[in-house]
Amino acid sequence: MLAVEKLNQYYGSSHTLRNVDLSLQVGKCTALLGRNGVGKTTLLKCMMGVLPIASGKVTLNGEEISGWRPHWRAAHGIAFVPQGREIFSRLSVAENLFMGMAVKPASQSKSIPDYIYTLFPVLKEMRQRRGGDLSGGQQQQLAIARALVGEPKVLILDEPTEGIQPSIIKDIERVIRLLTERGDMAILLVEQYYDFAERLADYFAVMTRGEIVLSGEGKDMKELKVRSYVAV
């Protein structure tokens, strides 16, 4: 599915990503963990084409996409939910969701799929409310739903639990688990919240100072003392 191989990136004279290898599998959730400032978000932006890479490559189903622009990657099924949500605060919930359908042909973008409201019932209740009037947790649900309306094959989530109340975290966990069990999507979950990541991860990778220093199966996270690498 989506993979990066020997990826390097620089910010000025700083070597921000160092020979990073990471591969996602369909029907599996991979958790990328690490403290603030270690390069997790930089890696995601390189995967999405928002930041250039110095060397290495990004591939999708074996095809190199390192030179593809972000909108082209999105059109080929890679969805990104950024840290901070970045919804359109002046648009309604429904309008935000329709914005997520921009990657699909117009003939397939006439209505919001029913399963979106099944996953996030609160959005159906609030579909005429402005995005900016929602709570932080509801905005996060909206951001995830907006990514899903395009029916992606890869879903990348950048710290979806940040600043979110516990009840909404449980809802987001439920949705990620359902999407994984559905088996038609690869999920990359970037987190500092260890317990949340451990509950969902089929595979994990730990990043420190721009490098993947530890990786393996989710079931081995406790034994490998992954918690010691993250803030929580």
- The CATH number linked to 38 is 3.40.50.300
- Number of domains the chain is built from: 1
**Is 211 inside a domain boundary?**
yes
- Asked whether residue 16 carries a pLDDT value surpassing 80, the answer given is yes
- The pLDDT tens digits for 84-104 are 878 999 999 999 999 998 887
Share of the chain above pLDDT 90, in %: 90
Q: Which pTM does this prediction carry?
A: 0.94
**Is the residue at 92 inside a domain?**
no
Q: How confident is residue 138, by pLDDT bands cut at 50, 70 and 90?
A: very high
- Whether residue 59 is contained in a domain is answered as yes
Tell me, yes or no, whether 178 lies in a domain.
yes
Query: pLDDT by residue (tens digit) across 163-218?
Result: 899 999 999 999 999 999 999 999 999 998 999 999 999 999 999 999 999 999 99
Secondary structure of the chain in the HEC alphabet?
CEEEEEEEEEECCEEEEEEEEEECCCCCEEEEECCCCCCHHHHHHHHHCCCCCCEEEEEECCEECCCCCHHHHHHCCEEEECCCCCCCCCCEHHHHHHHHHHHCCHHHCCCCCHHHHHHCHHHHHCCCCEHHHCCHHHHHHHHHHHHHCCCCCEEEEECCCCCCCHHHHHHHHHHHHHHHHHCCCEEEEEECCHHHHHHHCCEEEEEECCEEEEEEEHHHCCCCCHHHHCCC
Domain range enclosing 200: 2-85+152-229
Q: Is residue 13 part of a domain?
A: yes
User: Does 119 map to a domain?
Assistant: no
| In-domain check, residue 43 | yes
Look up residue 56 and give its amino acid. G
